[in-house]
Amino acid sequence: MTATYSDAEWVLYNEAQLEQHYLADFERWLRQVLDHAGTVEDALRWMTQEERDNGWMTHSQDAERWVWKQGFLFTDRGREVVEMLKRIWEMEY
């Protein structure tokens, strides 16, 4: 099957919809943790602590991988969260 321009547009539209769905899920989770953490930085630290304890949060690419797993890396908010995680965990770049 040969993809047409409209097929490609449809795929991009669906990807954007999925990103927004995953972003909304993440923001709900963040608000739940934030109720106890007090600051966004503390909430993100708590949300990623298990990964850090297992050695998966040592490099900036690990922050990108974590946000990618949440499903919204390629959004403005995804890039913002990656930068916050880099600062929180003082990652090498």
Q: Dihedral (C-alpha) 25, 78, 51, 36: value to the nearest 10 degrees?
A: -50
Instruction: Provide the domain limits for residue 68.
Output: 26-89
Residue 15 lies in a domain: no
68 is a domain residue: yes
Is 8 a domain residue?
no
Q: What share of the chain is helix, strand, coil (3-state, %, to 5)?
A: 75, 0, 20
Q: Is the dihedral of CA 90, 62, 30, 13 positive or negative?
A: positive
In this predicted structure, the answer to whether residue 39 has a pLDDT above a threshold of 90 is yes
9 found inside a domain: no
For residues 29-35, average pLDDT: 97
User: Which of 9-13, 45-49, 79-83, 87-91 has the lowest average pLDDT?
Assistant: 9-13
Say how far apart CA 22 and CA 29 lie, in whole Å: 11
Q: How many distinct structural domains can be found in the chain?
A: 1
In a domain, residue 58? The reply is yes
Among the residue ranges 8-17, 28-37, 76-85, the one predicted with the least confidence is 8-17
